[in-house]
Structure 1
Amino acid sequence: MAKNKTRIADATRCLMCYQPICDIACQKKVFPAGIIHALHLKNEAGAYLRSAENVSCLHCDDAKCEKACARGRVDSPIRIQEICRYVSQMKNISRESTQAELSVNFCGIRCENPFFLASSPVASSFEMCCHAFDAGWAGVSYKTISFYQSREVSPRFDALPGEHPFSFCGFKNLEQLSPHSAEENFEIIRRLKERYPEKVIIASIMGRNCDEWTVLARMAEEAGADLIECNFSCPQMAKQGLGSDIGQDQDLIALYTRATRKGSRLPIIAKMTPNIGNMELPAMTAIANGANSLAAINTVKSITRINTENFSSYPDIGGQSAVGGYSGQAVKPIALRFIRDLASYPPLKGIPLFGIGGITIWQDALDFILLGCTALQVCTSVMEYGYRIIDHLKEGLSIYMKQHDIASLDELRGLALPNLVQPEQLDRERKLHCEIDSRRCIHCGRCYISCLDGGHQAIGWEKRTPMIDKSLCVGCGLCTLVCPTEAISLVNSL
């Protein structure tokens, strides 16, 4: 088990190269990059399906792929051969067709799958959207269109590192609106809809007053957009009264939603801000005034870190910075909480939800669906890895559905909601304690020090061996989270 985890962890070190040189170097034509990339994105079944029935790695002696690995120029190469051999011998995974029915209906519009690009830099030009559609994305929320022409800063991005180098845990941006004029953007939408009539195009808009919201909505419908998204949530606008300033003011939400409805008959999505304590009430206001659906969340107001030399923050713009929007995997728990709140609020029952926030792997997507989302929007992981992640998002979700005999995503929507209850409803009589599997324990002492300094002093340490004191153990689970070999489990106390 530990060795298998090490192999998968090594795959996450992969740089996810464009035109991977390991594929070029492999004389057996295994195309190892696809296998490694699948593991990197937690798509183990997809990695297995990419491996040959009797993978040639089993009989390869020269490992030219590893010698060519670009990661080796940074520190050490990925152990490609060992990983591919491990993948080819995985068990309990079928090689049968894995394509499940991923189509969804959002506000009466058929979407070939639930995956959309969020309104952001990843959906900001004709060429980019074409590339995304060709890759397999069902639709785009085109980067917010406005008559207000924002001026951007340089640089405008910062990131906090993830679990391995060259990856993002969280991502901060100071970018605002589309760099093109409203007329140019709607012409792009018209051309996109003409070329890709089966794809779904959302026009994200933002006005400075009622007239602008109405005109933008009318222009969106005339351009052929399928839906309109009201951006009530961008947190880094350089002008007051826009973006998240609207999303925190129910009067403005009501005013601008009505103005948008005045300009168009298209379904309206209200994109909500997480920079607020209660999202249900502003969401209700949007629905009551003409919105048909909700999207959550936009980015979280943030300061990522401080430059300890000049005492500015990042991104550093001439020695200054500003509060910006935080996204990526770090905000996913916040997004899930808001989605749960919206989906569980009785007056909003049946309102379609777009889930946004930290979606990187197919399991992330499934989490949002299980909490009630119909469709999903992705941004930061595309900025990090490219449009190609759609293959693993669709494949991983399809394999899960096939394995669990799920015919439609409708069957999964909201299944987790009944199990998320109020704290006072939790079973307070249930008692667990920890047990250590001595065969897996590597005597590192991580469980001991965590329990000693952060738990209940229920683990002793004798001759480099941890010992559980059941009389002190409260079953908090901290030790199970820090153990590197999964040697500790929670069991019922007698």
Structure 2
Amino acid sequence: MIFKNVLSRSDMISCLLCLDPPCSEACPKGDPAKMLKNVWFDNQDIAAMSLPSINPCVKCDAPCEKACISKRNVQIKNIITRLSDEVRPVAEIEIPENESALKCDICGVPLENPFLLSSSVVSSTYDMCARAFDAGWAGACFKTICSFDIHEASPRFSAISGDNGSIIGFKNIEQLSDHSVSENMEIFRKLKKNYPNKVILASIMGQNEAEWESLAKLCEENGADAIELNFSCPNMQEDGLGSDIGQLPELVERFTKAAKRSTTIPVFAKLTPNVATMSPAAEAALRGGADGIAAINTIKSITGVNPYTYAGDASVRGKSVIGGYSGNAVKPIALRFMAELGKNEKLKGMHISGMGGIETWRDALEFMLLGAGSIQITTAVMQYGYGIIDQLKAGLNYYLVQMGIKSVKDIIGAGIDSVSNTTDDLERDTVLLPKFALDKCVHCGRCVVSCNDGGHQAISFEDRIPHLDGSKCVGCHLCLLVCPEHAISHSKRRINRGDS
């Protein structure tokens, strides 16, 4: 069942994912909020297998639904019943007893799992990192340390939301750590003392070679396990910093060499996606001695313009600025860069720490299949909190055990050969037809509209029933994507092009 969900976020669109959820407080038999959260984060099998063998909602008057504070009450009883009746009977394995398969490393530094906080506001103080470590994160890349005087703007965030109200795209104009260097070093020492088995990546940014060198040395002396060189922040107000560096391979090489001169721990170059290709900068980092690459950072963006004030989002007293875009919407772009780095033979052996739009364990898995050896996350934490680590670990671990994979390290790069650099490599002589499940169809006609006006006029609509004309269908599968009820799927019927 792990490859085809019976339930998804669309089934609980009105769930608020509450703090101290009233539904669970009201339920005398279990923890419905935990079930809902597992479904939200693509862990329907785990939710189902957490239930007792007999559906606990039988003969229950659903006090959880009465306690729900959403204005559109979530159909909790129905969701749990479907988990019990539809998902549990076909789940392939029990929930694994341990998470040993998640153990990995970052350039030889042990990780209890591949999940780290990325350098940002979510990893900017001792207390925040400590709470994340207590929750189960394997480590954190601390918010970028610098010697500049940082003054943040307010407001500094804007977002684009999806149909269910959750953030899919997020813009920030956040800058670097506003703590002094000495304050950050004190935080490192305290974290390493109290959490010796957690990994600390120190993100740094210098203004010249001497600063890159001295900051790297200082971070190692105060407990950092690795250094991340921020060559990619799009929000620096001075020229020659952040993404300005990442766009110039010669500067990437020079400053990487400077950092490597003063430290013995692994050094990563965090590269900007605001380039046509990332390989030139990555190869420059390798020449400079980098042990790994971190990618991607946020993408330069404008998320919207107010039609009444004419100011872009986020507006600071009527002024806006191009900022960094993140969230699930950037995942396809991040995966494209993962594939580029993963297929680059010159970079073989370098650790890639992947990030960019990761919310669920499946997102993380996709990055690892294209070459990432560790995963960094920020925007999903900003939206859902540190607690998502439970769903990330449980889902990835369940997948590995279900697939008979002994270690998460065994999947790194396993999907890279499926990605081609040219469309000329694709087979083009046959057409894979779509398949219509009329028992799921609600007869809305969306597939007909899209095929007529955006496809090849291959679907007719008679008595509100869609009919496919195989002689016209080219197998583009636009209909499958627009169907709101997921009543269209890939069929096994493949015909030679030109046949009816």
Give TM class, smaller chain: over 0.9
User: Alignment partner of 2:383: what SS?
Assistant: helix
> After the TM superposition, which residues 62-461 of structure 1 pair with which residues of structure 2 at under 5 Å, given as runs?
63-71=62-70, 75-89=71-85, 90=87, 91-93=89-91, 94-100=93-99, 101-165=101-165, 167-421=166-420, 422-461=422-461
Partner of 2:48: 48
Q: Give, as a single letter, the amino acid of the residue that structure 1 aligns with 2:131.
A: H
Distance 2:438 2:81 in 1: 28
Q: Is the 8 A contact 2:10 2:164 kept in 1?
A: no
For these two proteins, the number of residue pairs brought into alignment is 486
Q: Give, as a single letter, the amino acid of the residue that structure 2 aligns with 1:479.
A: C
Q: Deviations over 1:199-256 (max 9, x none)?
A: 1000000001111111101110110100000000001111111100000011211121
Q: Is 1:33 the equivalent of 2:33?
A: yes
Q: Give, as a single letter, the amino acid of the residue that structure 2 aligns with 1:92.
A: V
User: Alignment partner of 2:442: what SS?
Assistant: coil
Q: Give, as a single letter, the amino acid of the residue that structure 1 aligns with 2:21.
A: P
Q: Deviations over 1:84-143 (max 9, x none)?
A: 222223222233535341011211111000000000000000000000000000000000
Distance 1:107 1:370 in 2: 18
Distance 1:488 1:92 in 2: 22
Distance 2:47 2:108 in 1: 35
Q: Give, as a single letter, the amino acid of the residue that structure 2 aligns with 1:110.
A: P
Distance 2:368 2:9 in 1: 26
Q: Give, as a single letter, the amino acid of the residue that structure 1 aligns with 2:177.
A: S
Q: Is the 8 A contact 2:7 2:44 kept in 1?
A: no
Distance 1:354 1:92 in 2: 35
Q: Is the 8 A contact 1:12 1:40 kept in 2?
A: no
User: Alignment partner of 1:56: what SS?
Assistant: coil
Q: Is the 8 A contact 2:96 2:397 kept in 1?
A: no
Task: Note the C-alpha offset of 1:480.
Answer: 1.1
State the Cα RMSD in Å: 1.6
Q: Is the 8 A contact 1:14 1:40 kept in 2?
A: no
Distance 1:423 1:57 in 2: 51
Partner of 1:15: 16
User: Alignment partner of 1:141: what SS?
Assistant: strand
Q: Is the 8 A contact 1:98 1:399 kept in 2?
A: no
Q: Is the 8 A contact 2:156 2:172 kept in 1?
A: yes
Q: Give, as a single letter, the amino acid of the residue that structure 2 aligns with 1:80.
A: I
Q: Deviations over 1:300-339 (max 9, x none)?
A: 0000001011100111100111000000000000000001
Distance 1:345 1:438 in 2: 46
Q: Give, as a single letter, the amino acid of the residue that structure 2 aligns with 1:331.
A: V
Q: Is the 8 A contact 2:201 2:226 kept in 1?
A: yes
- Normalising by structure 2, what TM-score? 0.94
Distance 1:488 1:45 in 2: 23
Q: Deviations over 1:159-197 (max 9, x none)?
A: 1002302x1000000000011001100110111011111
Task: Note the C-alpha offset of 1:401.
Answer: 0.8
Query: 1:435 and 1:399, CA in 2 relative to 1: closer, same or farther beyond 3 A?
Result: closer
Q: Is the 8 A contact 1:11 1:37 kept in 2?
A: no
Q: Is the 8 A contact 2:216 2:227 kept in 1?
A: yes
Q: Give, as a single letter, the amino acid of the residue that structure 1 aligns with 2:400.
A: M
User: Alignment partner of 1:170: what SS?
Assistant: strand
Q: Deviations over 1:391-422 (max 9, x none)?
A: 00000001101111110012211111111112
Partner of 2:494: 492
Distance 2:281 2:252 in 1: 7
Distance 1:423 1:45 in 2: 36
Which deviates more from structure 2 when the two are superposed, residues 319-328 or residues 478-487? 478-487
Distance 1:82 1:53 in 2: 17
Query: 1:454 and 1:244, CA in 2 relative to 1: closer, same or farther beyond 3 A?
Result: same
Distance 2:431 2:80 in 1: 42
- Segments of structure 2 that go 5 or more residues without pairing to the other structure are none
% identical equivalent positions = 46
Q: Give, as a single letter, the amino acid of the residue that structure 1 aligns with 2:12.
A: A
Query: 1:471 and 1:271, CA in 2 relative to 1: closer, same or farther beyond 3 A?
Result: same
Query: 1:118 and 1:8, CA in 2 relative to 1: closer, same or farther beyond 3 A?
Result: closer
Q: Is the 8 A contact 1:98 1:398 kept in 2?
A: no
Query: 1:403 and 1:185, CA in 2 relative to 1: closer, same or farther beyond 3 A?
Result: same
Distance 1:219 1:366 in 2: 34
Partner of 1:481: 481
Task: Note the C-alpha offset of 1:7.
Answer: 7.3
Distance 2:321 2:244 in 1: 16
User: Alignment partner of 1:493: what SS?
Assistant: strand
Q: Is the 8 A contact 1:14 1:37 kept in 2?
A: no
Which deviates more from structure 2 when the two are superposed, residues 433-442 or residues 366-375? 433-442
- Normalising by structure 1, what TM-score? 0.95
Distance 1:15 1:227 in 2: 37
Task: Note the C-alpha offset of 1:458.
Answer: 1.4
Distance 1:27 1:300 in 2: 47
Q: Give, as a single letter, the amino acid of the residue that structure 2 aligns with 1:300.
A: I
Distance 2:128 2:55 in 1: 36
Distance 2:7 2:292 in 1: 43
User: Alignment partner of 1:58: what SS?
Assistant: coil
Which deviates more from structure 2 when the two are superposed, residues 40-49 or residues 337-346? 40-49
Distance 1:7 1:150 in 2: 42
Partner of 2:25: 24
Distance 1:465 1:57 in 2: 36
